[in-house]
Amino acid sequence: MKKNILLGLISILVIGLLAACGTKDNEPESGQGAEGENSEKKTLTVGTSADYAPFEYIDTAKSDEIIGFDIDIINSIADKLGYNLKITDTSFDGLIIALEANKFDFVISGMTPTPKRKENVDFTDVYYVANHMIVSKKDSGINTIEDLKGKTVGVQLGSIQEEEANSIAETVDITIESRSRIPELLQEIQIGRFDAAIIEDTVAQGYLNKMEDLSGFTIEGDEEEVGYAIAFPKGSGLTEEFNNALNEMKENGELDKLIIKWFGEEEEK
């Protein structure tokens, strides 16, 4: 009887060991399979100022997720290159400072690669070209740059539009005021603190479609003055990597599709 019991226990032990070996062979090793692949991807930290629809913004009626043209671009690039992204919303005027302090791996936020910024950070090629728009109340009588004489003009702090206002101030007597967010500029116009504001034209048009008491006119500029690019810390190895992927999107038509998705028409060449 004891012998039979012992043989039975040995059989159970052997079967258990074989089952364990079979399970180990069939399960993916750490870092393999769908979940493993995600865990192996490097996560890049991204800085943006999510008040710049349709480039980057939060549609609070739907979710607290940051969406937009710029966000679609970097998500596509990250997928191509095998990265995960962690996107953080912060004030536009603090993005370059944060990048220099290595708080972000890169920044995308409708940012123009000006000579001054290039001294501190590296940029990809330009991926979108826009223009400036002067926004004011419809009954303001502001229809030209000369009409800004003696007026208070608002701009986003640290933006290319702030530089444009300073350029205008060299020939037209204006008072320049800055705010951190675009909605703040429009609010100041509506309550009468600002006579006008300078905003990127695509962004401004989105607000004008909702605010019937406001109007605007466009100031055209060249690509170097109003083009947008992705910014990286000086010497970052990611710059060339992202630039190659960005140029691939231009060549295969993917970027044009995103332009049509977010702006309704292709970018003028």
pLDDT in tens, 168-205: 999 999 999 999 999 999 999 999 999 999 998 888 98
The model's confidence at residue 90, banded by pLDDT at 50, 70 and 90, is very high
Task: Annotate 22-58 with DSSP letters as a single string.
Answer: HHHHHSPPTT-HHHHHHHHSEEEEEEE-SEETTTEEE
Q: What is the pLDDT of residue 223?
A: 52
CA–CA dist 198, 58 (Å, integer): 22
Which of 225, 94, 230 is closest to 166 using CA atoms?
A: 225
Residue 20 above 50 pLDDT?
no
228 has a pLDDT exceeding 60: yes
pLDDT tens string 206-216: 899 889 999 99
Residue 264 half-sphere exposure toward CB, CA atoms < 13 A: 4
Question: 126, 117 in Cβ contact below 8 A?
Answer: no
What DSSP string runs through 151-185? -EEEEETTSHHHHHHHHHHTTS--EEEEESSHHHH
Average pLDDT taken over every residue of the chain: 85
Angstrom CA distances, 75 to 31, 119, 189, 214, stand at: 22, 27, 35, 34
User: What totals of helices (H) and strands (E) does the chain contain, helices first?
Assistant: 11, 15
- pLDDT-derived band of residue 219, with 50, 70 and 90 as boundaries? confident
Separation of alpha carbons 154 and 10, rounded Å: 84
77-89 per-residue burial string, b: 16 or more CB within 10 A, e: under 16: bbebeebebebee
- pLDDT score for 135: 97
Tens digit of each residue's pLDDT (9 = 90 or more) over 123-161: 999 999 888 999 999 999 999 999 999 999 999 998 889
CA distance 74 to 228: 13
* Rounded distance between C-alpha atoms, residue 74 and residue 55, angstroms: 11
41-129+227-263, CATH topology level: D-Maltodextrin-Binding Protein; domain 2 (3.40.190)
- For CATH 3.40.190.10, the residue range(s) in the chain are 41-129+227-263, 132-219
pLDDT at 29: 35
Q: What are phi and psi of 133, to 5 degrees?
A: -130, 135
| pLDDT tens-digit map of 29-77 | 333 333 344 557 899 999 999 999 999 999 999 999 999 999 999 999 9
Q: What is the pLDDT of residue 222?
A: 54
Q: Tell whether domain 132-219 is in CATH 2.40.50.140.
A: no
